[in-house]
Amino acid sequence: MDMRFDLAQKAQEDAAFAMAATPSAKGCGGQYCDRCEVRDQAICADLDEKQRGALNRIGRRVSLQAGQTVMWEGDSSTLVANVIEGTLKLSTSTGDGREQIVGVVYASDFIGRPFGARTPHSVTALTDARLCLYPRGAFDGFAREHPALEHRLLRRTLDDLDRTRAWMLLLGRKNAREKVATLLLDMRRRLRADRAGVIELPLSRQQIADVLGLTIETVSRQIGELKRMGVIALAGRRGVRVVDAERLEGMAEGE
């Protein structure tokens, strides 16, 4: 029975891996790993060259277009991935079918549920993105054999728990201005700015409102107020430049 289950699980993982990795996937080679922009921050950062090569052999590089979903809430946990470039949202469905964004992931983050049976949320690209994608079963086996990777997974899990607790504080205790300021600071830390210091927000104002538990009118009003006060400057539809980071940080803390 166990052997039949393992074979069925492997077949399911292979099918999901092939679907997600088609058509814009390439094998991960050592040279690609050497050039990886997030090599020092990603889940594989503590592996040596030989170990990274072994991990590469079970993975594929995958390019996603904005709006493309790579994992679906409630499905069997068949895939995990390192985010190499781009921004993705984690979302779940409410009882009446509405989408609720429960998190945002950036370059160097890890997505998927290793050692888990089900995917707890859908993962969808907000921008064009690149991933190193792995079949979950093969990745789990590799992690068991490499304590450095298991240790980094544990650290990531604890970091995610800390962020979740901070997010609970954000949603439960902070007012509208504090929420918007906190989210802008988080994105400023994680997104790459252009030469003028402008970051392109991956979320629309409606999505920001959904994430923060506000209305779109409130979000627009708060962003407009931050601009009027000279704390931020706006560029185009989604471009934001933080003009006074110290003041924005004070607002995020309710000062």
Could you give the dihedral angle defined by the CA atoms of residues 212, 156, 17 and 30, in that order, rounded to the nearest 10 degrees? 130
Q: How far apart, in whole angstroms, are the C-alpha atoms of residue 255 and residue 249? A: 9
Q: How far apart, in whole angstroms, are the C-alpha atoms of residue 253 and residue 255? A: 6
Q: Which residues make Cβ contacts (< 8 Å) with residue 161, sequence separation at least 6? A: none
Closest CA to 32 of 131, 110, 141: 131
Closest CA to 31 of 39, 22, 23: 39
Residues of the chain with CATH 1.10.10.10: 174-252
Class for domain 2-167, per CATH?
A: mainly beta
Residues of the chain with CATH 2.60.120.10: 2-167
- Topology of 174-252 in CATH? Arc Repressor Mutant, subunit A (1.10.10)
What does the chain look like in DSSP terms, one character per residue? -HHHHHHHHHHHHHHHHHHHT-SSEEE--HHHHHH-TTTTTSTTTTS-HHHHHHHHTT-EEEEE-TT-EEE-TTSB--EEEEEEES-EEEEEE-TTS-EEEEEEE-TT-EEE-TT-SB--SEEEESS-EEEEEEEHHHHHHHHHH-HHHHHHHHHHHHHHHHHHHHHHHHHHH--HHHHHHHHHHHHHHHSPP-TTSEEE-SS-HHHHHHHHT--HHHHHHHHHHHHHTTSEEEETTTEEEES-HHHHHHHHTT-
The tens place of each residue's pLDDT in the chain, 255 residues long, gives 444 434 344 444 454 555 555 445 555 555 567 777 887 888 888 888 888 888 888 999 999 999 999 999 999 989 999 999 999 999 988 878 788 888 889 999 999 988 888 888 999 999 999 999 999 999 999 999 999 888 888 888 888 888 778 777 777 788 999 999 999 999 999 898 999 999 999 999 999 998 888 999 999 999 999 999 999 999 998 999 999 999 999 999 887
Sign of the four-CA dihedral 99, 100, 104, 109? negative
